[in-house]
Structure 1
């Protein structure tokens, strides 16, 4: 007789699957020589080019001083560029470089493979249902769409 799996709480299962998925994503991004935080920032910069670091930090929910090392690292790798803001010369507009945009294509491919791997046990319809339920929970919890809450813990 097969042993029955204990009934675990949904919050625990979300945390368990989330931690596993995050670790797997980290490993995929390591192959691209990126951290998940760098990926998130690069995606945000590409989705809204020309914003200041202060604006980016606000969207990520982290102090601008904590974001500076992350921006510096992406700039040193040639993935983003800082340019003087035409409207306020005290600020820099942050934009993806050509190399950064090219890397985003590879990130997208890796992300799609990750999504497929994590949800491989589900049908397409089940994936849609799961996605809808997770969006509903994220909205109810006040999470910012597309922004990982880990940015709140970035070290300066």
Structure 2
């Protein structure tokens, strides 16, 4: 309780408060590249696992397959990804970054680093490292997939 007898905001609240602020700020930053956070996460997943099937990407991201197909469609229309027939199973499409998608990943990386630096500006290098370690430990304890935003689970179908 604080001096007025009100409950003090706990760490979970602070994480939510900061997480929401960070997510909104990142959406604005990545919007300057004409991307949404879900598109950005999908591009990152394709870059990390080129040639993955749409089904594998949907599973990795924890999103409904119908929503993932719509995300891939949008990125394909923009020339950032392409679907290729999987030589092992012609029923599946392998998703790859195009040259434009690969080039965009450089810009995404820059925006992400700028965002991280802005959010963590008040921390020194040792504090940043320790915070990252503690947050990674908490995320692992909750069973969260490293590098995948849990918001994919609640994206509405297209």
**Matched residue pairs, number?**
153
Deviation, 1:155, is 1.4
**Residues 83 and 92, structure 1, Cα contact 8 Å, conserved in 2:** yes
For 2:98 and 2:153, locate their aligned partners in 1 and report how far apart those are by CA, in whole Å. 26
Partner in structure 1 of residue 45 of structure 2:
44
Partner in structure 1 of residue 32 of structure 2:
31
- SS in structure 2 of the partner of residue 139 of structure 1: helix
Runs of 4+ in 1 over 2 A off after TM superposition: none
Q: Could you tell me the TM-score, scaled by structure 1's length?
A: 0.95
Taking the TM superposition and a 5 Å limit, the aligned residue runs for 1:93-112 are 93-112=94-113
Q: Could you tell me the TM-score, scaled by structure 2's length?
A: 0.94
Partner in structure 2 of residue 9 of structure 1:
10
Where does the alignment leave 5 or more consecutive residues of structure 1 unmatched?
A: none
Q: Deviations over 1:43-85 (max 9, x none)?
A: 0001100011000001011221121110100000000000000
CA RMSD in angstroms, aligned pairs only: 1.4
Deviation, 1:7, is 3.7
Q: Deviations over 1:79-105 (max 9, x none)?
A: 000000000001110000000000000
Partner in structure 1 of residue 89 of structure 2:
88
Partner in structure 1 of residue 65 of structure 2:
64
Q: Deviations over 1:22-59 (max 9, x none)?
A: 00000001100000000000000011000110000010
